[in-house]
Structure 1
Amino acid sequence: MSAILVAGSEGGIGRACVEAVEASGTPAFGVDLADGIDITRPGGAEKALARAAEAHGSVSGVVHAIGMSGRSLGDGGVADCTDAAWNEVHRVNHESVFRLLRASIPAMPEGGSIVVIGSALGTSIDDDFRTVAYASAKGGLIPLIRVAAREAASRGVRINLVSAGLVATPMSRRARESEAIRARMPALMPLGARPCRPEEVAQAVLWLLSPASGRTTGAVIPVDGGWHLR
């Protein structure tokens, strides 16, 4: 049975995507650094697709759920961001998407679907989340997936992006534990004034992978509790 490849399967959102796909009755093939596959490096995407196809015969969908924060490397405002943070955050959060798209588009059958996890910070500016490398890398995903979606449309392959707000994952712990940010939650995410759950993001991903979204491509779907309405 054709499988869904989930890159970044050990992360909070990636793990939730694996569970949602499997609960729907479709096999999920998760890959992460622990599996010896690094999508962010040359050849990693091709290796992941080959292993998934070997295990399940074919791959009909791909999820890119790899991401990192660059704060520990010096990500911050433009005047403060270090070269190390800028380079590594773009390599992991942006370049790896390009690598996976480049490998996946030719490998997808007609009707295939590729979903990329983006961030509300890619389209909004907030002083409590001032990380220029992260925002730039995530913001750059929008033209990337649109160009790719246009290219893949002739093959019957769809490519979309889920723009996630603050999600309750280990990576967001610093923000979620901040008293200042907790006090602002009703304004930041007015729909319930709480972080999104990984499972809520995964359900949007599941819809984009399914035939129910068969006429949707090149779209940016917000799952952010209303963050984008500010």
Structure 2
Amino acid sequence: MTSPTSPTSPASPTGPSSRAVAPVLPQDFTGRTVVVTGAGSGIGRATALAFAARGAGVVVADLDAKAAAETAAFIEANGGAAVTVVGDLGEQDVVDRVVATALDSFHGGTLDVLVNNAGIMDSMSAVADVTDTEWERLLRINLTAPFLLTRAALPHMLDAGRGAIVFTASEAGLRGSAAGAAYTAAKHGIVGLTKSLAVTYRDRGIRANAVAPGGTLTNIRVDLDPAADGPRALGAYMGNVGQPAAADTQADAIVFLASDAARNINGVVLPVDGGWSAV
């Protein structure tokens, strides 16, 4: 009985096959430009640091100027390259600045990876309790802003014949019991947008995928009334969340989906939730 061939070593020339086994491709982004939104903190900051550590030039986009500057400083202190763009990504002029900065700042006018991560949480409100203000704000930040930035980035990716887009969806994009009505609707929209992009542009070198985080240690705020219909009904399901993950756990999954190691993965919504979605 022959021993199994090591996955990182060539097959023995005396065995049944002399074909070498291809090594796993490294997650190397040297020479590539990556845009990360919501990069001032949490999953976005961890993701920006992870790409920079792998050689990417990173555009740190965030609403909070101080937080964005801190992320860029962390990157530069570790020998990486970063620039910041500050503003509300629900506004077209800010979106245009992000894309222009990506094209002008680093490696020969390319925008190789777009990570649509920025988002806010709702107040866990049930449908009957969602105000117009909450609904419109959640949809604008969590769904419209990623759409606008993707639409602006796509022509440049299409011209280059390649590009990877990764969205931060949510466990709330897979079920109806993980957040309030507005957040749930927005994240289901992100799932649909991801799949639509994957189908439409799969033959033109563009890949679109998403992570669906479960409980994660970030500074995202949730202001709620525990006695309201939404939190009262949803509370029964929150015992299944499990142990919250560190932000860099989500960043690792995002980097993988954007990397050449995932070159044949397209249209996937990957739960990164410790098994919550399996319950």
Interval containing the TM-score (normalised by the shorter chain): 0.7 to 0.9
| Partner of residue 176, structure 2 | 125
Within the alignment, does 1:55 sit opposite 2:85 as a pair?
no
Offset at 1:163? 0.6
Between Structure 1 and Structure 2, how many residues are aligned? 217
Aligned to 1:23: 53
So what's the TM-score if we normalise by structure 1? 0.86
Calculate the aligned-residue CA RMSD, in Å.
2.3
Aligned partner (choices 36, 40, 43) of residue 10 of structure 1: 40
Q: 1:52 to 1:95 in 2, by over 3 A?
A: same
Q: In the TM superposition, what whole-angstrom CA distance separates every residue of 1:184-206 from its partner, at most 9, and x where no partner exists?
A: 87x524xxx31011100000010
* Cα contact 1:70–1:88 (8 A) shared by 2: no
Q: Which moved more, 1:113-122 or 1:40-49?
A: 40-49
Rounded Cα–Cα distance in structure 1 between residues aligned with 2:174 and 2:258: 24
2:240 to 172, 176, 188: 188
User: Structure 1 CA distance, aligned partners of 2:167 and 2:193?
Assistant: 10
Q: C-alpha separation between the residues in 2 aligned to 1:118 and 1:195?
A: 16
Report 1:1-230 matches (<5 A): 1-33=31-63, 34=65, 35-56=85-106, 57=108, 58-71=110-123, 76-108=125-157, 109-126=160-177, 129-171=178-220, 187-189=239-241, 193-230=242-279
Unaligned segments of structure 1, at least 5 residues: none
Deviation at 1:173, TM superposition (A): 6.8
Rounded Cα–Cα distance in structure 2 between residues aligned with 1:9 and 1:184: 30
* 1:145 and 1:218 in contact (8 A); partners too: yes
Instruction: Pick closer, same or farther for the CA change 1:37–1:155 going to 2, 3 Å.
Output: farther
1:82 Cα deviation (Å)?
0.7
Question: In 2, are the aligned partners of 1:105 and 1:152 still within 8 Å (CA)?
Answer: no
Deviation at 1:170, TM superposition (A): 0.8
Structure 2 gap ranges (5+): 1-30, 66-84, 225-231
TM-score by length of 2: 0.72
Pick 1 or 2: higher relative contact order, CA cutoff 8 A, min separation 6: 1
- AA paired with 1:14? G
In 2, the alpha carbon distance for the partners of 1:16 and 1:173 equals 21
